[in-house]
Structure 1
Amino acid sequence: MKPSIPVYDICSISTGHKQEDLLAERMSHYLKKNYQRVHQQHGHSFFHMVFFTEGSGSQTIDFSRYAVTPHQIYFMVPGQVHSWHFNPDVDGYVIHFSEAFFRTFLLDHDYLDRFTFFSGNSKDQVMTVPAGSRKDVTALLEKILDETAQQEYDMVRVLLLQLFLTIEKCCGKDGTKIIPQQKQLVLRNFQQLINKHYRNIKLPKEYAELLYITPNHLNALCQDLLGKTAGELIRDRILLEAKRMLTNAGMTVTQIARELNFEDNSYFSRFFKKYEGITPDEFRKNLN
């Protein structure tokens, strides 16, 4: 069965690029080489960041559409899908880095999880850099381009971390509370389990057993940290995968229902319409 959408690594998404763990370029240069590829719905195996300095258009991240404006910055994590719909005047900076890029550099391998824009939730990943921070952000990105050109990759790592801290400080939500590390770990493990088992495990109590906690504890944790129940997180992941599969014209709705382990096509269609407001066939038509 062919995949719903193409999934690119750093080298395959950018024509002629050879460094498999890092890409840092000006947007105008990047688009000249890869315009057609990035304007189609696709997935990433890497972390992705763009800062727009000028231009307009729109982009979709996991099927949510956002208007593009100058001084907007957005992040994506591996596994997310998106497409661009830019006007010709767009410019800025593009950075890709692999999951392995910081692995031997940081003692805490989960360090990036502390940043809200690496949550995998598109609503937390698209921000506008305030006027007072734009000069600092631009200066950091220029340094990253310079150090990348000189293949000084440890310096790039330091500058990227400085950039992440700057963005979190200037764009973070007001009143964001500090989350204890143990709670972060449980939530991250739950989300990883969902990504691994969402086709076969549908109930929060089954995930709670895998995490060695009670269903009530899991549900309270999700509501406290994300404002959603554990069941809603599982449902959202199933719906996201259904949407990704619906982009594949070679798969029927019946095949998608079977892939997602629904009892039958009608049950899947009712489930999809209940939470999306339209049927799977209507969603597919709207993609055109």
Structure 2
Amino acid sequence: MAGIPHYYLYGEPGAGVDRDLLHIEPVRDRSGPNDWRIRPHAHPDHMQVMLVADGGGTIRMEDRTLAVPSPGVLVIPAGIVHQIDFDPGTDGHVITAALPCLAAAGAQDPALGRAAGQAAAYPLDGSGVDVAAAIEAFRSLQREFLWAAPGRRAAIIAQFSRILVLILRLSLIHRAPAIGAADHDLLVRYRALVEAQFRSHHPPAHYAALLAVTPARLNAACKARAGRTASDILHDRLVVEAKRYLIYTESSVAQVAHLTGFEDPAYFNRFFTRRVGCAPGAFRRQAAES
């Protein structure tokens, strides 16, 4: 993994973006200015879904090169190293979704998350799905993303859920072979355990034991695929949850501490401030003003 850049959006480190949600843009907006070549990189904390409506090309994910179907859907799980060579003029939409957003959109059915974790290039023609409806699903998400209307976040999650259902159905139709690597698979399993148990504040050694690996092996996989330690990934998940309660509920800071598994509100305050750069109360006020 040495020398392979990690991005939020291709070419951007991600500072100042809402990394708890998703981003969607036309394929041509980023690929065209880069001569239709997306060089090797990975997204440690975000997965991508790409609708290719026109054009084509090739995509390499880890050690496998696949044709880009048109019309078709590409699924690129978090941490998968990939590069894409598009045919000039290729267009469609690319979604870059944070893992917490993926979890929220797939909360009603665990199969949605599993399908989104499988790297694949699915053709739409001949799949039995309604191609026009699939294209409209991406367009609808794009409209909600750009339109600052009431209920925007809920609408975005709902539209993304619709796209995850499409991915699940395509995965069952096409039965694509698995693409990945040992480090990536270990990171995926670790993140699944963290999602289920993060409020318990278990140390990484607890998760390593559940995964039947040493703490050093788990830490090495996290560093290789996510660019962060196992502890960092766990702490980041706690911060995401705390931010949600601070923004979307009226719970006091002490209540937020309890809801995220902290016994001592003062320690929660220090933990949050150290990682976010401001105290929980200040974060809440800034979010209300933005």
TM-score (normalizing by structure 2)? 0.53
Residue 57 (1) aligns with residue 54 (2):
no
CA shift for structure 1 position 128? 1.4
8 Å contact from structure 2 (residues 22, 97) kept in 1? yes
1:5 alignment counterpart: 4
Partner of 1:59, secondary structure, is strand
Q: Give the distance between the partners of 1:37 and 1:6, measured in 2 at CA.
A: 18
Deviations 1:157-212 (A, max 9, x none): 1011012113322542489xxxxxxxxxxx9899339xx9xxxxxxxxxx9x9339
Shift in CA distance, 116/154, structure 1 to aligned 2, threshold 3 Å? same
- 1:100: how far off? 2.8
Contact between 1:11 and 1:18, CA under 8 Å: does it hold in 2?
A: no
The one-letter code matched in structure 2 to 1:148 is: F
Kindly provide the CA deviation profile for residues 3-57 of structure 1, in whole angstroms up to 9, marking residues without a partner as x: 3310112485389984433211111123235x26962111113111101111121
1:140 match: secondary structure: helix
Give the whole-Å Cα distance in 1 for the aligned partners of 2:14 and 2:186. 34
2:165 and 2:142 map into 1 onto residues whose CA distance is 18
1:149 aligned partner: 146
Aligned-partner SS, 1:84 = strand
Residues 65 and 140 from structure 1, CA distance in 2 versus in 1: closer, same or farther, beyond 3 angstroms?
same
Gaps of 5+ in 2: 176-184, 195-205, 226-290
Equivalent residue pairs, number:
193
1:136 matched to which residue of 2? 133
Partner SS for 1:40: strand
Which sections of structure 1, spanning at least 5 residues, go unmatched?
Answer: 176-186, 197-206, 216-233, 243-288
SS at match of 2:122: strand
- Residues 70-128 of structure 1 show CA distances to partners (whole Å, capped at 9, x for unaligned) of 1121112221110011121211110001123356x5694x9566444323x43xx2211
Q: Is the Cα contact below 8 Å between 1:116 and 1:172 reproduced in 2? A: no
Residue 67 of structure 2: aligned partner: 67
- For 2:189, the equivalent position in structure 1 comes to 191
Q: What is the DSSP-based 3-state SS (H/G/I as helix, E as strand, rest coil) of the residue aligned with 1:41?
A: strand
Partner SS, residue 83 of structure 2 = strand
Partner of 2:76: 76
Cα distance change on mapping 1:23 and 1:112 into 2, 3 Å: farther
Name the CA distance, whole Å, in 1 between partners of 2:58 and 2:49.
15
User: Partner residue of 1:47?
Assistant: 47
Partner amino acid, structure 2, of 1:51: L
Tell me the equivalent position of 1:281.
Answer: none
- Structural RMSD (CA): 4.5
- The aligned runs of 1:156-167 (5 Å cut-off) are 156-167=156-167
1:272 aligns with none
